[in-house]
Amino acid sequence: MSRVKELLRQEDGNTALFLMGMIGIMMIMFVFVLNLAQVFAVKEQANTTSQQASLAATSVLYNRIWEKIKDHSDVPAPVPVPVPVILETIEEKVDKRIMDLNSDPRFSKFSDNEIRLEAIDQVVTEELDKPQGRIFLKPKIEAELPYALREMEDAARETILANGGNTSEAKLFIKDNQIHVKASNTVEGTAYGKFFGDLNEKLFQESAGPEVKFLEKFSGYEGYEASID
């Protein structure tokens, strides 16, 4: 009888050890899944950070250039013309193009702001293809681009910080006439004993704003890159 009781006690002890081991393994698996979910969440957050930063920088580019060229017309006022002509400003041409784009089914899913930027891009690109545009309009834009770049970097930096991102190692660059921003958010692991305690990593993502086609008319900007930390 005493031998049977001893065996039962050993069995109870083994069962308890087994249960404790299983609970430990389950806890490790739970924390692993928790950390994995956190990695995916921070990765998505980093994507949002870079996306919003690239859009903010692109908007700054358009707004800075727009303020300098919206009153530009085909023929500058001091230049005499042989017959009376109706001179349209860039702003008037863009307003007409916006109306055209709003009635074009290809742009039905565009927001009002996206339609406006597309109209500006189309009109400015067309004007720069004209001889008068190359003579009178191009220098205006060319003079503003260096200042626009600095404001774009500032806008990207502010947007990254507003999204809880890291400006360290972040960068803005121009590729294929698009403003790209590469930025990161930090993921920190949930520790369980000796496991996962050292997880503290920057997760980088890269996004680009809409194409700014008129940029191809200016040399030296394709491949431009700047640190925004």
Instruction: Give the model's pLDDT for residue 23.
Output: 73
Give me the pLDDT at residue 78, please: 55
* pLDDT of the residue at 6: 56
pLDDT at 21: 67
Residue 83: pLDDT over 80: no
| Residue environment code for 5-31, b if the CB has 16+ CB neighbours within 10 A, otherwise e | eeeeeeeeeeeeeeeeeeeeeeeeeeb
Indicate whether 174 pLDDT > 50. yes
The mean pLDDT value for 171-199 works out to: 84
Kind and range of the H or E run holding 155: helix 138-162
Token output for 51? 């996306």
Beta-carbon count within 10 A of 169 CB: 13
Q: What is the DSSP letter of 74?
A: S
All residues at 6 or more sequence positions from 95 whose CB lies less than 8 Å from its CB, including other chains: none
pLDDT of residue 53: 97
Choice between 177 and 78, residue whose per-residue pLDDT is larger? 177
Rounded (5°) CA angle 93-99-103: 145
Q: Which of 76-80, 99-103, 186-190 has the lowest mean pLDDT?
A: 76-80
What pLDDT is attached to residue 205?
A: 96
Four-residue CA torsion sign, 78, 79, 80, 81: negative
What band does 2 get if pLDDT is binned at 50, 70 and 90?
low
- For residues 67-78, give the mean pLDDT: 78
What percent of the chain clears pLDDT 70, i.e. is strictly above it?
A: 79
